[in-house]
Structure 1
Amino acid sequence: MKVFGSSGVRGVVNEDLTPAFVSRVAMAAGSVFTVMGNDRVALGRDTRATGEMLVDSAASGLASVGCAVDELGVLPTPAVQAYAEREGVPALMVTASHNPPEYNGVKLIGADGIELVRETLEQVEDRLLTERFNTVPWNQTGDRRPTAEAPRNYVEEVLAAVDRDRIADAGLTIALDPGHGAGSLTSPRLFRELGCSVVTVNAQPDGHFPGRNPEPIESNLAGLRRLVRTTDADLGVAHDGDADRAIFVDECGTHIEGDAAFAALAAAELEPGDTTVSAVNVSQRLVDVVEERDATLELTPIGSTNIVTRIQQLIAEGGSVPIAGEGNGGVLFPDYRLSRDGAYTAARFCELLVDRTASEIAAEHAGYENVRRNISYDTEVERERLLSAVETTARNADIPLDTTDGYRLDYDDSWVLVRPSGTEPLIRIYAEAHDHERAEELVAWIRGALLEAV
């Protein structure tokens, strides 16, 4: 697809992503939705400063093709998906997830509450590129209806889906860092109603993200680590801008690798014969759990759309997929809902804290070091030059090569993956090894080849 990447469409506002473009995306999506029999569409956004402007554009585009709009306001993406499933209506979510403040985007959700599968996205993209919009006469345009109950309903659904008594009996103190994003409106309430004591940082909704950038990576979470230490919290929880991800800090104020948290959650879920789905940058931590549980691991290109599509295929074939996701904090529990949900994931992690501390859980999946680096580019020519250098370097390495998404080289003790970002002008380099020096060595080798190319 030319427009929709692994998680919708994103760009820098008023450069790559304009109000006019968002309106056309909404017109294309609404045209497909109406053909499918849906003339009512939910519309939500995260806290970004440009969100209200782009929501207005999207609402106008939807109305022009005859769609009535349920205005949800600021809400986590999983809460928008829950509303879509509950009401049986498709949805548009205006969000750029973890991207910097200048970015925004649009994510498309089906009437089942699940991100649109690639086949449907391609139909929307075809209408967008050819401008085949099903515009209606003036007296058939859609209206807009504010809807206020979605946050409360979402919190209640999460509460009902976890072991509320087990978490409450543990007497946990949870330090929350919603990163000024949409989770600010729901996660503090959720964990208080789970019986936890809650302390917060960066919990004021603010689309300029003054406390930290939206991506919940270790370098952005110094405030949360400090809060955990000063309040003796049992766990720190950080979200991205639309709260579909959760990253953790242990009771000592130490960052827990997302891959380790995912492995711990998978270890609690997987049974012999089960399948889990992850992306091609999967950690050996998950591979180890899958082997221990006599389960199966399926790999896809990076991005939640690809993972969701594969889960749907496996379930349709009669497979059991109790957990799936990526090591960036985006975890899915398909038996609950086929969507990434940061608050639900954090609540499920809290269930594990009844028997042991967060640091003990993380230690069970230690022994690997991860290094990630990015190389930026300015033009499409630079991008192609970098990718050409990657391919040449990878194919000349005489090491087993996986090209599911980018180029992954697997060694006996380590692996390295290079791929273009689907949402930013970056080439991403990932490496994992038993020791940090080896991972750094792999990244430096690939990075050197790329820098030489430009």
Structure 2
Amino acid sequence: MFGTSGIRGPVGRVVTTDLALDVGRALASQNAHTIVVGRDARKSGAVLADGVSAGARECGADVVRLGVTSTPTIARSVGWLNADAGVAVTASHNPPTDNGFKLWTPSGQAFDRPKRREVTRRINGEAFDFAAWDEHGSERTWDRAVETHADRIDAALDFIGELTIVVDIGNGTGGVTAEALERLGCSVETLNGQPDGRFPGRPSEPTAENCRSLCEFVAATDADLGIAHDGDADRTMAVTEAGEFVSGDVLLALFAREAIRPGKQVAVPVDTSLLVDDAVVEAGGSVVRTKVGDVYVAAEASKPDVVFGGEPSGAWIWPEETLCPDGPFAACQLARLVREHGSLSSLVSSIDRYPIRRKSIHVADELSTIETVQERLTAQYAAVDTTDGVRVERNDGWFLVRASGTEPIIRLTAEARTDRQADAILAEVSDIVSSVTEPAPSVDAAD
């Protein structure tokens, strides 16, 4: 039921009001006495949020409704309101036809595996503790969530000022970013600022391709940088003053280098570039790797020695502030970096970048293939990490073999310090995977 970031799928097929009711019932039946419920701008979110609230109240929980707002605002509101759980009705960067549910704890951390498993068990078994007819929970609204979020960002960061920033909200719920930046003294201009769950301005995911208009706009003006969010504003990507889209690995390295302290750690997923390792190690810290998915990064970031966690997809976590990926907070952190250390272009140029090669191989059974590949690679190499798939460290680079999880595909990633080494590593691992399966024609993508 749960993927790497909550429950998500097509509305009316996977995600229904029946499911929304059951999510609310399951949370209330797990002793969540007060539940925060908010949603992104998708039209389907209105009835789904109603369903979550109705199910929770039916099992005796009180509900606080936030309306349309960003996922990090919802996640952080759980703690601010002394609630027991939170539900963001959102499909994040998925297309408008989808919706879903992200579940949050008072610390701002997403539900971990045991909590997700318990929700799934209750829904599948209809194991709900319905309240007596006269003991249903109450519902109220809280209209200060966005203001409180901006207040917290303002309080956490020093005054910035003297920067002009373009924020591409992507017709999502990231308007709090503009408000927070303005409070910090920046001049802000927004693109696609009207919340609209059809995402008419651009596709919701803030990729280089989808952010071309932002790149062109920033390059044509005197803006100091551009910021782009996805539909629920838990992801943040950036554009330099010259209009260059900053890759997620480079942005992760910049944030990690700033946050790290000697002897401390940064949490990143297994598919993260070694340029992050270089930046962190040079600053006296170390990198700890997790499964792919911000829920796993957050779990590692909750440990005492981890001072920052991030995913190249745009999820950034400062555990001293919150354990949820907070896109607006990340945007303001980046603005602070530019203000203190120079242009974003100069910051980007200070990070070494290495060639990455990627390849997808279609197989009959991805899980059995991964098991066989793991046995082969473990016997062949000394430095093998099986946290998520199989990652192998070599003197000249690294490679990762990982099952898709949603389709019968094995994904290969190889990185080295030269193009020739990267090509050679990918060819070697591709031959290994091909030798243990009968693949269909593959699709290559170089980055």
- 2:157 is equivalent to residue 177 of structure 1: no
What amino acid is aligned across from residue 326 of structure 1 in structure 2? Answer: E
- 2:86 is equivalent to residue 109 of structure 1: no
Deviations 1:186-241 (A, max 9, x none): 12222222221222222211111112221111111111101111222111111111
Conserved? CA contact 1:47–1:74, under 8 Å: yes
CA pair 192-437 structure 1, distance change in 2 beyond 3 A: farther
Conserved? CA contact 1:88–1:111, under 8 Å: yes
Conserved? CA contact 2:37–2:53, under 8 Å: yes
Q: CA deviation at 1:22?
A: 2.2
- 2:151 is equivalent to residue 156 of structure 1: yes
Conserved? CA contact 2:177–2:329, under 8 Å: no
Q: Secondary structure at the match of 2:296?
A: helix
Aligned runs of 1:69-84 on 2, under 5 Å? 69-84=63-78
With normalisation by structure 1, the TM-score equals 0.87
What amino acid is aligned across from residue 174 of structure 1 in structure 2? Answer: I
**1:369 is matched with which residue?**
355
CA distance in 2, matches of 1:417, 1:160: 41
Aligned runs of 1:188-199 on 2, under 5 Å? 188-199=178-189
**1:68 is matched with which residue?**
62
Conserved? CA contact 2:5–2:295, under 8 Å: yes
Q: CA deviation at 1:143?
A: 2.6
Deviations 1:3-42 (A, max 9, x none): 223221111211222221222122112211x2xxx42211
Q: Secondary structure at the match of 1:340?
A: coil
CA distance in 2, matches of 1:340, 1:453: 37
CA distance in 2, matches of 1:252, 1:374: 33
**1:30 is matched with which residue?**
28
CA pair 94-446 structure 1, distance change in 2 beyond 3 A: farther
Conserved? CA contact 2:166–2:218, under 8 Å: yes
Alignment counterpart, residue 48 of structure 1, candidates 19, 37, 42: 42
Q: CA deviation at 1:138?
A: 2.2
Aligned runs of 1:292-441 on 2, under 5 Å? 292-312=282-302, 314-315=303-304, 320-354=305-339, 355-371=341-357, 385-390=365-370, 392=372, 396=376, 398-399=380-381, 400-421=383-404, 428-435=411-418, 439=422
Conserved? CA contact 1:9–1:423, under 8 Å: no
- 2:447 is equivalent to residue 452 of structure 1: no
CA distance in 2, matches of 1:370, 1:197: 36
Alignment counterpart, residue 219 of structure 2, candidates 229, 232, 235: 229
CA distance in 1, matches of 2:207, 2:214: 11
Conserved? CA contact 1:394–1:409, under 8 Å: no
Pick the structure with more helix per residue.
Answer: 1
**2:274 is matched with which residue?**
284
**1:147 is matched with which residue?**
142
What amino acid is aligned across from residue 257 of structure 1 in structure 2? Answer: S
Q: CA deviation at 1:101?
A: 2.1
* Residue ranges of structure 2 left out of the alignment (5+ in a row): 442-447
CA distance in 2, matches of 1:79, 1:193: 17
Deviations 1:37-70 (A, max 9, x none): x422110111123211211111111111111211
Q: Secondary structure at the match of 1:255?
A: coil
Conserved? CA contact 1:118–1:309, under 8 Å: no
Q: CA deviation at 1:421?
A: 4.8
CA pair 428-157 structure 1, distance change in 2 beyond 3 A: farther
Q: Secondary structure at the match of 1:145?
A: strand
CA distance in 2, matches of 1:21, 1:402: 37
- 2:3 is equivalent to residue 5 of structure 1: yes
**Greater mean deviation of Cα atoms: 202-211 or 136-145:** 136-145
Conserved? CA contact 1:47–1:181, under 8 Å: yes
What amino acid is aligned across from residue 318 of structure 2 in structure 1? Answer: F
Q: CA deviation at 1:330?
A: 0.9
What amino acid is aligned across from residue 351 of structure 1 in structure 2? Answer: R
Deviations 1:351-407 (A, max 9, x none): 1112311011111113213455667x8xxxx7x624444555565564554321123
Conserved? CA contact 1:243–1:341, under 8 Å: yes
Conserved? CA contact 1:431–1:443, under 8 Å: yes
**Greater mean deviation of Cα atoms: 72-81 or 401-410:** 401-410
Conserved? CA contact 1:414–1:434, under 8 Å: yes
CA distance in 1, matches of 2:403, 2:125: 27
Deviations 1:326-346 (A, max 9, x none): 122211111111221111111
CA pair 442-218 structure 1, distance change in 2 beyond 3 A: farther
* Residue ranges of structure 1 left out of the alignment (5+ in a row): none
**2:444 is matched with which residue?**
none
**2:445 is matched with which residue?**
none
Q: CA deviation at 1:438?
A: 5.8
CA distance in 2, matches of 1:223, 1:202: 10
CA distance in 1, matches of 2:210, 2:178: 20
**1:206 is matched with which residue?**
196
Q: CA deviation at 1:117?
A: 2.8
What amino acid is aligned across from residue 365 of structure 2 in structure 1? Answer: R
Q: CA deviation at 1:283?
A: 1.6
**2:230 is matched with which residue?**
240
**Greater mean deviation of Cα atoms: 64-73 or 192-201:** 192-201
Alignment counterpart, residue 137 of structure 1, candidates 129, 132, 138: 132
CA distance in 2, matches of 1:262, 1:422: 24
CA pair 152-306 structure 1, distance change in 2 beyond 3 A: same
CA pair 394-443 structure 1, distance change in 2 beyond 3 A: farther
**Identity fraction in percent:** 35
Q: CA deviation at 1:121?
A: 2.4
- 2:85 is equivalent to residue 87 of structure 1: no
CA distance in 2, matches of 1:140, 1:196: 49
